[in-house]
Amino acid sequence: MLLSLAIRDLVLIEALDLDFHRGLGVLTGETGAGKSILLDALGLAMGARADSGLVRQGAERALVIAGFDVAGHAAVAALLGDNDIAQEPGEPLLIRRQVRADGGSRAFVNDQPVSAGLLRDLGVLLVEIHGQHDDRGLINPKGHRDLLDSFGRCDVAGVAAAWRGWQAAERAYADANAAIDTALRDRDLLEHNLAELTAFMPQPGEEAELAGDRAAMQKGERLSGDIADLFATFEGSKGALAQLRGAARKLDRIAEEHPLLNEALEALDRSVIEADDAEAKLRAASEALTYDSVRLDEMERRLFDLRALARKHNVAGDALPDLLARMQADWAALESGGANLTALDKARHAAKAAYVSAAEALSSERAKAGKALDAAVQGELIPLKLDAARFRTLVDPLDETRWGPSGMDHVEFLISTNPGSDFAPLMKIASGGELSRFILALKVALAEQGGAETMIFDEIDRGVGGAVASAIGERLARLALTTQLLVVTHSPQVAARGAHHLLIAKTSDGTVARTGVRLLDDADRKEEIARMLSGAEITPEARAQADRLLERV
């Protein structure tokens, strides 16, 4: 809902701050007072094209700030979330647009810079403006199907679920069929590669293990002479370790003769222990680095074959076991693919049949809802002086290539304005106030079905008066019970229905003209309606008539 509109230096408006409320708000004023400027200002906030001509003469820039209550508006919350724009709970959504005199413009949502495109996306969700050149809202056929479904409470969710099931079944069949086609096309190659890999039987981590063992054995070959020499130093009765042990025994017999001899014995014992440890590690190293020319040849041949297979299949060596598993699965699918494909084919046809059944039921619901909507709209057209017009909800089957989660139907609202004339889209036939009255009739018939929370009708009463204007005012007031409605009007019958009345007036000091807006109290409101009834000179009869209009509502 629109809460506020602040305008600075826009055309004839120097500074203006307006607050808005729920219900029906009417905007009146003499011709040329500047009512369109307010719509231009709101249009800027909603992403309309920025024109430097909107900047007030002598000012550097024009500024418009619109505040909206978006609490509970899921679509707005989703759009803000998609664009990483924070919205504090309980705080208004602030849209700011500025236009410089040199033609540049900037846009902000909650003080975050955004594109004019995002403002337009927000505008569709926040405000519907219905006027002579409206091409959105109810005029746009893209939204007609959703409006009809909402009006008729049609089961679109069931059709969407059936559509998803059908598409999933089609994908499963297509994937399986493609896999079998590929396998059949490459059957001989697959059989050869599978036999080759099965015979080789690669193991997980084998390449690294073989490379490590080969490196160790090659190192053992290089170090075997040095290790043998070291063993000669340790082994035998004349080896270093045997001599150390013999020296320790001799020293043990005389160690008690002097403290230094005892210390020498202790040091020698430690040396024997360390020498034993060195010999053990040397033996372990010798075993780890054992060189076996036959085994080395086998490892090198296995490693060479493994890497050759990896290059052949363009994978890493460690990926060969997984490749073998996939080939085995492909071969199994090839062997049993016919039966599996038959089952998937049956499943996809069953899923399509379920979708078609659900979509046909939805089409029947839409046809029934269309007739009900036609009758409801037709009942609204006569009081709005559109009694010669006819309204029709077109529900036509779509080509199968255009079926989707919303069913198999194209829905569009059509009108015929004269007896015998063909039905055609609203925009192509209706114009001006007639178009706005069609929109009003549709809105009343649809009640709360879809649409933005704020609606604006620009001169919906153009070219009508008397009973028709009263009928328009009554329907606007009824519609305003469920939404915020703003109406730019020249009709006293419509103005009298307003819950809030804003007067737009232009003043001039002889050199500069300015447009101002003020909220009317009860007395001023009666005076303004009397002016609308009588013209420049307000007569007692006009004031009496204004009283009667206000009493009726």
Q: Taking a C-beta distance cutoff of 8 angstroms, is the pair 475, 380 a contact?
A: yes
pLDDT over threshold 80, residue 136: no
The reply to whether 180 falls in a domain is no
pLDDT over threshold 90, residue 356: yes
Condensed to tens digits (0 to 9), the pLDDT of residues 471-491 reads 888 888 888 888 888 988 888
Q: How far apart are CA 449 and CA 443, in angstroms?
A: 8
pLDDT over threshold 70, residue 553: no
Q: Which of these, 352, 355, 336, lies nearest to 176 by C-alpha position?
A: 336
Helix/strand number for the chain, H first, E second: 17, 15
Average pLDDT over residues 237-259: 77
| 125-134, 240-249, 416-425: range with lowest mean pLDDT | 125-134
Condensed to tens digits (0 to 9), the pLDDT of residues 384-393 reads 878 888 899 9
Q: Which of these, 153, 146, 160, 142, lies nearest to 407 by C-alpha position?
A: 160
pLDDT over threshold 80, residue 533: yes
Average pLDDT over residues 267-282: 79
Q: Taking a C-beta distance cutoff of 8 angstroms, is the pair 504, 488 a contact?
A: no
User: Which residue segment(s) compose the domain that 278 sits in?
Assistant: 188-331
| 11-20, 32-41, 263-272, 405-414: range with lowest mean pLDDT | 32-41
pLDDT over threshold 80, residue 235: no
The reply to whether 52 falls in a domain is no
Output phi, psi for 496, to 5 deg. Answer: -65, -20
Taking the CA atoms of residue 135, residue 141, residue 142 and residue 147 in that order, the dihedral angle to the nearest 10 degrees is 110
pLDDT over threshold 50, residue 427: yes
Q: Taking a C-beta distance cutoff of 8 angstroms, is the pair 391, 378 a contact?
A: yes
> Collapsing DSSP states into helix, strand and coil, what is residue 89?
coil
Q: Which residues of 355-394 are buried (b: 16+ CB within 10 A; e: fewer)?
A: bbebbeebbebbeebbeebbebbbebbebbbbeebbbbbe
Condensed to tens digits (0 to 9), the pLDDT of residues 160-170 reads 999 999 999 99
Better-scored residue on pLDDT, 374 or 137: 374
Per-residue pLDDT band for 133 (boundaries 50, 70, 90) equals very low
The reply to whether 537 falls in a domain is no
CB atoms within 10 A of CB 219: 13
pLDDT over threshold 90, residue 369: yes
The predicted model scores a pTM of 0.59
Tokens of 335: 């062997």
Average pLDDT over residues 343-355: 95
| 92-101, 138-147, 428-437, 536-545: range with lowest mean pLDDT | 428-437
Q: How far apart are CA 401 and CA 303, in angstroms?
A: 55
pLDDT for residue 80: 92
Percent of the chain with pLDDT over 90: 31
- How confident is the prediction for the chain on average, in pLDDT? 84
pLDDT over threshold 60, residue 450: no
pLDDT for residue 260: 85
Average pLDDT over residues 289-316: 85
Condensed to tens digits (0 to 9), the pLDDT of residues 77-126 reads 999 999 999 998 889 999 999 999 888 899 999 999 999 899 998 988 89
Output phi, psi for 541, to 5 deg. Answer: -65, -40
Average pLDDT over residues 53-73: 90
Q: Domain count of the chain?
A: 1
The reply to whether 311 falls in a domain is yes
The reply to whether 234 falls in a domain is yes
The reply to whether 316 falls in a domain is yes
Residue type, 337: G
Q: How far apart are CA 320 and CA 418, in angstroms?
A: 78
Q: Which residues contact 528 (CB under 8 A, 6 or more apart)?
A: 28, 495, 501, 503, 520
The reply to whether 23 falls in a domain is no
pLDDT for residue 92: 93
Q: Is 330 exposed, middle or buried (0-12, 13-18, 19+ CB in 10 A)?
A: buried
Per-residue pLDDT band for 225 (boundaries 50, 70, 90) equals low
pLDDT for residue 510: 62
pLDDT for residue 25: 92
pLDDT over threshold 70, residue 468: yes
pLDDT for residue 237: 61
The reply to whether 481 falls in a domain is no
pLDDT for residue 430: 55
pLDDT for residue 308: 92
Q: Taking a C-beta distance cutoff of 8 angstroms, is the pair 370, 393 a contact?
A: yes
Cα distances (Å, whole numbers) of residue 214 to 145, 202, 302, 309? 73, 17, 11, 19
